Amino acid sequence: MQHGQGLINRAAAVSFLGLVLGAPLAQAGAYDFTPAPQTDLNRIYRIDRAMGEVSACQYGLQEGSVGATLCFGPGEGAGGQPAGDYGLVGSRHEREGGVFRVNFRSGEMSICYVFESKVVCTPQANPTSPAPAAAVRPPQSGATTSPGTR
């Protein structure tokens, strides 16, 4: 019996060490990053993969220095969402400054972009859900404005 008890104690110690040492690893990879598709915009978006919160940072010129990192916190619609498996997807539109926030579990999507020094996102929508009562028309082809270029 004593030998069996020693194995149990060793297994418990290894499990405990795995939990303690593995905790930082569990935190690693909690965010994903993607650049804005706009080719003349130096901006990177960040998303919390579990909660869907979106923020962004970009390079800015600052006289007398190497520059500054300008960051934009979450604003309307860009805060935490219901728990999910979130990611960011850029369109292939070279003049688009925003990105899509997608929930890989539910299939919901929204568009996120910087507006008035905050990242804002449209409400989550699912292509399999009916359109809202006041349906929004997509922009006409050749339109010159997009959410991310404000």
- pLDDT one-digit tens code per residue, 65-112: 999 999 999 999 999 999 999 999 998 888 888 999 999 999 999 999
In whole numbers, what is the pLDDT of the chain averaged over residues? 79
Rounded Cα distance between 17 and 150, Å, is 50
- Place 137 in a pLDDT band, splitting at 50, 70 and 90: low
* Nearest partner of 88 among 43, 124, 36, judged by Cα: 36
As a whole number, mean pLDDT of residues 12-41 equals: 65
- Report pLDDT for 3: 55
CA angle 41, 42, 46 (to 5 degrees): 110
- Using DSSP's 3-state secondary structure scheme, residue 43 falls into strand
**Among 35, 38, 39, CA closest to 47:** 35
Band the pLDDT of 133: cuts 50, 70, 90.
low
The pLDDT value recorded for residue 17 is: 40
pLDDT at position 143 over 50: no
